[in-house]
Amino acid sequence: MSTELVTMNIGPIHPSTHGVFRMRVTFDGETIIDAEPIIGYLHRGSEKLAEERTYTQVVTLTDRMDYTASMTNNQAYILSVEKLSGITPSVRGVWLRMIAAELQRIAAHSVAIGFLINDLGAWHTPLLYLLREREKILELFEMMCGARITNSYLRPGGVFMDAPDEFWPSLNKFLDDMPNRLDDIENLLTDNEIILARTQNVAILKKEDAINASITGPMLRASGVDWDLRHRNPYDFYEKISFRRPLGTVGDNNDRYLVRLQEIRESLKIVEQCLDLIEPGPVKPEEVPFLVRPPQGESYVPIEAPKGELGFYLVSDGSISPFRCHVRAPSLINLTLLRDMVIGYKIADLFVTFGSIDVNMGEVDR
């Protein structure tokens, strides 16, 4: 019986792609032969815009790149600026930065896991449970800096505002409640037969392929590589904190889901340790000028963002704006292997795999 290949466009507007993402897929019946991603629908020219703004104004640009993880975007940029200009941040500012970054990691992973299970077809129930926890984190952020999502909380040298008094009891309450909620969600999802049947042994990614394709973050750790920048290349005060790094064994969709879930637990422990070690003091050193003017040079400080290794390559020519600001976007680079991972699997696996890579279009297109 003669069959023909069907080429279809899974368009930029689609309920299952996280943002505006387009794929041109070729099927043979039910099996995928080719999947070509086409991106650029959210390109706003952030790198060019950064060349016309002062170093502090660029912080607002970095918020909007990976809009589910603003704090870590800010952190990557500010660390690069501080290395370039030789500013030593204040101690309390650094602890507040770390608390904000780890809370942001919990929120970003909640979104990732929630939407992955949503793509599997569980009509929003686990998604809403996880978004309810994220709501609490966003309220904490609102207490800290006044904004929920695009925070612009960090400044060269620390943060711009100290957390108010009502922040600390709320944070403690959140840390007490969250492990129980995570247990509930895990009981519902992790051993569920249908989720296991849909995600195990689908889209397997091997170690060597992952490293060769510059994959970083939870996707790399799910393939079994123990590379976490907070552990290997500690920035801020991460060497004073101890935490475990969950690794996967097979490298399929199920491992990527499990790794993110366990990373939420580890982030809770990191926040608790930060709470024990934080000291009162100024949140930003006073000698940091309003207009930062770094000397000529360049810097690249990679950090462990929720999506992978995020780093800002800054080149300075001595003026108040960066000469060149390049973002090493983890979501874009993690997309390299999407095509290889889905070839040979069924249509229904395409969206589950795409969800497990955890891509944010704001970061892919910048």
Partner 1 sequence: MGPIRESFIFEFLYCHLSLEASCSSVRILNVAFIPEDLSWISFILTSFFWIFVFINAALVGVLVLIWGERRLIGKFQARLGPNRWGPLGLFTPVADAIKVMFKEDIEPTLSDKLIYVLAPILMVVPVFMIFPVIPYGAKTFLTNISVGVVFVLAITSINSLSVLMAGWASGNRFAIIGGIRAVAMLLSYEIPMGISAAGVVIVAGSLSLSEVVNNQVIPNAIFQPLGFITFLIASTAELNRSPFDITEAESELVAGYMTDYSSMKFGLFYLGEFMATIASSAIIVTFYFSGWRGPTFIPSEIWFLTKWVGVIAIFIWFRATFPRLRIDQIMSLAWKGLFELSLINLLVLALMIAIWPDPSGMQLLIMTLVNWVVFFLSIYIFGKILSPNLTGNKIKKRSVVYGLD
Partner 2 sequence: MTKVLSGSEIEDLLGSNFKNQIEAIGEDYVQVSNDKSLDLFNNLKIDHQYDLLSSVTSVDRISHFEVVYHLTSLQKNESLVIKINCGEGRVDPKVKSVISVWRGAELQEREIYDLMGIMFEDHPNMKRLLLWENFEGHPLRKDFVS
Task: Report the DSSP beta bridge partners of residue 27.
Answer: 6, 32
| Nearer residue to partner 1 within complex by CB, 21 or 77 | 21
- Does residue number 6 form part of the binding site for partner 1 (CB under 8 A)? yes
Nearest-approach distance from CB 69 to partner 2, in angstroms: 19
Q: Which two tokens stand for residue 218?
A: 């939870």
- Does residue number 237 form part of the binding site for partner 2 (CB under 8 A)? no
Nearest-approach distance from CB 79 to partner 2, in angstroms: 13
Applying CB under 8 A, among 81, 215, 270, 283 the residue interacting with partner 2 is 215
- Does residue number 204 form part of the binding site for partner 2 (CB under 8 A)? no
- List the single partner that 196 binds among partner 1, partner 2, none, CB under 5 to 8 Å by kind: partner 1
Q: Which of 260, 263, 328, 252 is nearest to 79 (CA)?
A: 328
Q: How many CB atoms lie within 10 A of CB 277?
A: 12
Say which residues have a Cβ less than 8 Å from residue 47's Cβ, sequence separation at least 6. Answer: 324, 325, 326, 327, 366
| Nearer residue to partner 1 within complex by CB, 106 or 327 | 106
- List the single partner that 47 binds among partner 2, partner 1, none, CB under 5 to 8 Å by kind: partner 2
Q: CA 303, CA 157: separation in Å to the nearest integer? A: 17
Q: What is the dihedral of CA 130, 133, 138, 143, to 10 degrees?
A: 180
Question: Of 33-41, 71-79, 90-98, 342-350, which segment contacts partner 1 by CB under 8 A?
Answer: 342-350
- Does residue number 201 form part of the binding site for partner 1 (CB under 8 A)? yes
Nearest-approach distance from CB 244 to partner 1, in angstroms: 4
Q: What is the CA radius of gyration of the chain?
A: 21
What x/- string results for residues 119 through 148 when contact with partner 1 is judged by CB under 8 A?
-xxxxxx--xx--x----------------
Q: How many CB atoms lie within 10 A of CB 249?
A: 11
